[in-house]
Amino acid sequence: MQLEKYKIDQHNETLSAAHKRKFAALTADLPHAETIVKKLADFQVAIPSWALGTGGTRFARFAGGGEPRSLEEKIEDIGLLHQLNRSSGAISLHIPWDIPKNGAAIKALAAQHGIRFDAMNSNTFQDQPGQKLSYKFGSMQHVDKAVRRQAVEHNLEVIEHGVALGSQSLTVWLSDGSCFPGQLNFRKAFQNTLESLQEVYAALPATWKMFVEYKAFEPNFYSTTVGDWGQSLLYATKLGPKAYTLVDLGHHLPNANIEQIVALLLMEGKLGGFHFNDSKYGDDDLTVGSIKPYQLFLIFNELVEGMDARGMDHTTDLGWMIDASHNVKDPLEDLLQSVEAILITYAQALLVDRAALQSAQQNNDVVRAQEILQNAFRTDVRPLVAEARLRTGGALDPIQLFRDQQVREQLVKQRGLKTIATGL
Ligand code: PSV
Ligand code: MN
Ligand code: MN
């Protein structure tokens, strides 16, 4: 469903006076406000096709009603998000959860909503109905060459789907690893995986990137064959210039210094993309910024610093994606919160006084360095984010408008109460 433009205008009208007041107060002391608003307006975050329904936990799933029943309906839902916040202009697809039966038609539908196709995700971590060989003991690492070949061929198919949709990248997340000591020969598992990835890499179209996503644990709990950024970087380096590391915020061991990882990957030109989410314990896939907003800020601070140092374009040179799903919120409201959290944090990172920070670092002025970072983090930048939305035709308060227009109720009416979107 789409909202008529006049409804967004009316909503903005009612909030306009308060917004103007807050925006004027904030920008009175901010010489670079216009540049920041422009950067925020350009920033787009891809929505994963698997986050539009309630995700569930390992133990249960409580469907929320009105969930998209097809890829077309998922695209419509993202179209609505994009209409509300103007920052969700991309979708990241998981194959085979969301196979586009007619690539050209799907591409055209997405284009109608101003949505492009971000990274394609392959899936060799589950057995699919009718699949010949099992991934129970891994896919690309498997001791049996035939299983490895099957995994490679699946990735080649995913690339083909992506080409038809105009995607430019492939994310490979492998659940390969072992649950018990002695189960695997680590070196052979690494080499098998490398060889399989090389076969996929060889089939990448010239303009494509490959993102190698790492994860420290789960579903394997003793070893993971792409377990951390070191292993991912090793694969990406051995594969070649089109291969990069993908950082998923939930995939680290507790207390890992993710901002430092990001800084070094950027320095090496090997950071390819991001999966945003938040977590308290493990790969919890909770809403971005809901648990550790300061950590997210420190990560964005390194992203902005590192990308600027390399002359990278903030909007196009990395793949920005959300990877979250859970049971207790309306998935669309949750995605609005996630995108908002990303934009707020990006704005805070853009506020950091880089020259002052550099000079504090040069003078070992630790107190000053902390003040500079925390000044930015403690600034309420929400009026900047709202202004960017207003200027691009979005809603000043997307969640409020979503609720006022009773979007979920209408989706339930259209699609029914007992709907289960494909995905985890
Ligand atoms: C694995 O935990 C992961 O983060 C990978 O990105 C998958 O593609 C995604 O979740 C969905 O299962
Ligand atoms: Mn992920
Ligand atoms: Mn994950």
Residue 131 covered by a domain: yes
- Is 325 inside any structural domain? yes
pLDDT digits over 52-84, tens only?
988 767 778 887 899 999 999 999 999 999 999
> Measured from the CB, is residue 213 less than 6 Å from ligand 1?
yes
- For helices 331-351 and 33-42, angle between their N-to-C axes, nearest 10 degrees: 140
> What percent of the chain stands above pLDDT 90?
94
C-beta of 252 in contact with ligand 1 (< 6 A): no
- What's the pLDDT at 353? 97
Ligand nearest the Cα atom of residue 172: 1
- Closest ligand, as measured to the CA of 276: 2
Asked if pLDDT for residue 258 goes beyond 90, the answer is: yes
User: How much is the average pLDDT of 14-39?
Assistant: 97
Strands (E), 262-322: 271-276, 319-322
Is there a domain that residue 284 lies in? Answer: yes
Q: Nearest C-alpha to atom 10 of ligand 1 is from which residue? A: 323
Ligand 1 neighbour 424 (Cβ under 6 A): yes
Question: Sign of torsion, CA 197 202 204 208?
Answer: positive
CA distances from 71 to 91, 97, 327, 393 (A): 11, 9, 21, 26
Mean pLDDT of the 352-377 span: 98
Per-residue pLDDT at 273: 95
Position 422 pLDDT exceeds 70:
no
Please classify residue 355 by burial: count the beta carbons closer than 10 Å to its beta carbon, then call 0-12 exposed, 13-18 middle and 19+ buried.
exposed
What pLDDT does residue 54 have?
83
Residue 151 placed within a domain:
yes
What is the number of alpha carbons within 13 Å of residue 239 lying toward its C-beta? 29
Q: What is the mean pLDDT of the chain?
A: 96
Q: Cα of 363 to ligand 1 centre, how many Å?
A: 42
Tokens 């307006």 label which residue? 41
- Angle (deg, nearest 10), helices 366-377 and 293-309: 110
pTM here is 0.97
For ligand 1, atom 2, name the residue with the nearest CA. 283
Average pLDDT (363-370) is 98
The pLDDT value recorded for residue 423 is: 60
CB 98 less than 6 A from any atom of ligand 1: no
Residue 383 lies in a domain: yes
Q: Which of 92, 95, 121 to mutate to test the pocket of ligand 1 (most atoms within 8 A of CB)?
A: 121
Which tops the pLDDT comparison, 151 or 53? 151
Does residue 215's CB lie within 6 angstroms of at least one atom of ligand 1? yes
In a domain, 422, yes or no: no
Ligand 1 nearest-atom number relative to CA 94 = 8
Nearest ligand (C-alpha, residue 224) = 1
Rounded to the nearest angstrom, the distance between the alpha carbon of 118 and the centre of ligand 1 is 15
Distance CA 414, CA 424 (A): 23
DSSP H helices, 121-246, are 145-165, 186-202, 229-239
In a domain, 421, yes or no: no
**Average pLDDT value for residue range 110-130:** 97
- What is the domain-level CATH number for residue 219? 3.20.20.150
Q: In total, how many domains does the chain have?
A: 1
- What stretch of H or E contains 308? helix 293-309
- Atom 7, ligand 1: residue with shortest CA distance: 173
Report which bound ligand comes closest to the CA of 171. Answer: 1
Residue 398 has pLDDT above 80, yes or no: yes
The answer to which of 10-14, 59-63, 380-384 has the lowest mean pLDDT is 59-63
Residue 81 neighbours by CB distance under 10 Å = 26
Residue 420 has pLDDT above 70, yes or no: no
Pick the range with the lowest mean pLDDT from 15-19, 97-101, 177-181, 366-370: 97-101
Write down the pLDDT at residue 424. Answer: 58
Taking residues 15-26, what's their average pLDDT? 98
Q: Which of 58, 323, 326 to mutate to test the pocket of ligand 1 (most atoms within 8 A of CB)?
A: 323
For residue 77, the tally of other CB atoms under 10 A from its CB is 28
Where in the sequence is the domain holding 384, given as residue range(s)?
Answer: 5-415
* pLDDT band at residue 421 under the 50/70/90 scheme: low
pLDDT value of residue 99: 95
Average pLDDT over residues 183-202: 98
Mutate to test the pocket of ligand 1, among 139, 248, 274 (most ligand atoms within 8 A of CB): 248
Q: How confident is the model at residue 326 (pLDDT cuts 50, 70, 90)?
A: confident
Asked if residue 424 is part of any domain, the answer here is no
Q: Which pLDDT belongs to residue 325?
A: 87
